[in-house]
Every structure is written in C-alpha cells, then in structure tokens.
Amino acid sequence: MNGIDAYLDRLASSDPTPGGGSAATLVGAMGAALCAMVARITAGSPRHAERREHALRLAEQADALRSRFEAARPLDEAAYERVVGAQALPKTTAEEKAARTAALQAALAGAAQAPLEAAGLAAEGLALAEATAALDNAHLESDVECATHFFRAAFAASVANVRINHRFLKDPATVGAQNERLTAIASAAAESEKRILATLAKG
C-alpha cells in the first residue's frame, strides 16, 4: 500500500486525527506539485526556451512549498491531538477543572495556529500559481487551474479549522491577533486568485 492510500485509510478511520486540517495540507501539496510539473515541462520545451531559467526557478519554489505543506501536516495532527488529550484530563475537583481548562485553552490556541500557518502556505501557493500561469504554456492551462483550485480549497479548509477553534477560545487577544493575520492572508489570496483566473481566461 502506498503512502497516499495509507493516509486515506487513516483519514477514513474513526480516529480524530488526521482530520480536515491535515487533509488541507495534502491538497495544498498537490497544488504545489502541479505547479512544479507545469514549470518543468515548460522548461523542457523548445517553444518556451526563453522562459527556461525562470521556469526552473519556479519548479524549485514549488518543490520547497510542497515540502512545507508536507511538514505542516503532522504539526496540524499533533496540535489537535493536544486538544483531545486536554479534553480527556480529569475534572472532578476544582483544581482539576482549572488545570484542564488551562490546558484546553492552550491546546485550542495551538490548534488554531496550525491551520492559520497552512492558510498562509495556501496563499503562497496561489501566488505561485499566478507566476506559473504567467509562463503562458497553453497546453498546461488546465493544470494551473487545477492547482489554483487545490490551493483555494486548502485555504478554505484551513480557515474553517481556525474558525472552529476560535469558537471555543476564551482569550480575545489570541483570537484577535490570529484573525488579523487571517484577514491579511485572505486578502492576498483573493488578489492572486483573481489575477490567475484573469490570465487563464485570456487563453
């Protein structure tokens, strides 16, 4: 059984991890891999010889982004496992309840931070897809569009996981700071996506 099949079996199991945040990083990694493919094919095409060096640099950037998505996956899983662990703490006495609450709040902050980082990676992915679209390889436009949709899905899924943890976080400063960063990421992502789709529409 290959790695993807094994991961999907874990995802389909009754275990709480991996979950949606983890899966979002896999989707983002696939978007990065598609950008790398488009860049490498373009670099090897005599018709695009003038873009060869730029395309090769984009392929390297895409490889690096894919690695960062892959590294983010276990971090997301570990962050949520800490939430599950905190929820399982005893809560019989007042002291136990206070300790459990503190542990759970700290875990929730981390569980929101992990998908927030993944959302940032997805926004970087959309900027990468924009640069990949600008290579103007008409034969691979659908691959660039697929990468764009994958990054957008990874972004949306990551945002959903930030929001669900914010619902239970009681520290307004943490929520406010994370929301401020998320708003900036969302704005950059939306602008990149708009420009990509406009480029692809020109055909």
In this prediction, residue 184 carries a pLDDT of: 97
> Is the distance from CB of 116 to CB of 127 less than 8 angstroms?
no
140 lies in some domain = yes
Determine, yes or no, domain membership for 7: no
Residue of 10, 22, 128 whose CA lies nearest to 65: 128
Residues 193-203 have a mean pLDDT of 86
Q: Quick check: is 100 in a domain?
A: yes
What is the tens place of the pLDDT at every residue in 49-102?
999 999 999 999 999 999 999 999 999 999 999 999 999 999 999 999 999 999
Residue 65's identity, in one-letter code, is L
Whether 202 shows a pLDDT value over 90: the answer reads no
What's the rounded mean pLDDT across residues 27-47?
97
Enclosing domain of residue 144: 16-202
Q: What is the CATH number for 98?
A: 1.20.120.680
In a domain, 1, yes or no: no
Q: Is the pLDDT of residue 156 over 60?
A: yes
The domain total for the chain is: 1
Global pTM reads 0.94
- Whether pLDDT at 197 is above 70: yes
The answer to whether residue 6 is domain-embedded is no
Q: Per the domain annotation, does 118 fall within a domain? A: yes
Q: Which long-range contacts (CB under 8 A, 24 or more apart) does 43-46 make?
A: 45/137
Q: Does some domain include residue 2?
A: no
Candidates 150, 83, 82; CA nearest to 118 is 150
DSSP sequence for the chain? --HHHHHHHHHHSSSS-S-HHHHHHHHHHHHHHHHHHHHHHHHT-GGGGGGHHHHHHHHHHHHHHHHHHHHHHHHHHHHHHHHHHHHTS--SSHHHHHHHHHHHHHHHHHHHHHHHHHHHHHHHHHHHHHHHHTT--GGGHHHHHHHHHHHHHHHHHHHHHHHHHHTT---HHHHHHHHHHHHHHHHHHHHHHHHHHHHHHH-
Q: Is residue 73 part of a domain?
A: yes
